[in-house]
Amino acid sequence: MFTERNRRELILIAHMFNEKALEFEPGRSPDPAPSLSPREVDAMTLLAVGYSRAQVADTLSISEHTLRTYIESARLKLGAMNTTHAVARAVNRGLIVV
């Protein structure tokens, strides 16, 4: 599937769009980067490189319910609307490296 093959590039494109959108609001800078827990970083990183939620949970040896808790916590800390938006913000802010 296109999105699975190109996930990393799509996240980077979303980041570039966000940067350009900020140019339309002079004087506005990105919010300071919140700190994510080590497990939130692990989960977001694996999602960013294309793992499915089941694969992430298996890799981290946690349940999918626990994974959802980490993702939701990271999403709220990042002020993101969904998981993809959270991953893009985490990459943008240097909280995860893909």
Is the pLDDT at 72 greater than 80? The verdict is: yes
pLDDT band at 29 (very low <50, low <70, confident <90, very high): low
Read off the tokens for 55. 């694969």
pTM, two decimals, is 0.69
A 10 A CB-CB count for 58 gives 14
What domains, with CATH codes, occur in the chain?
2-92 (1.10.10.10)
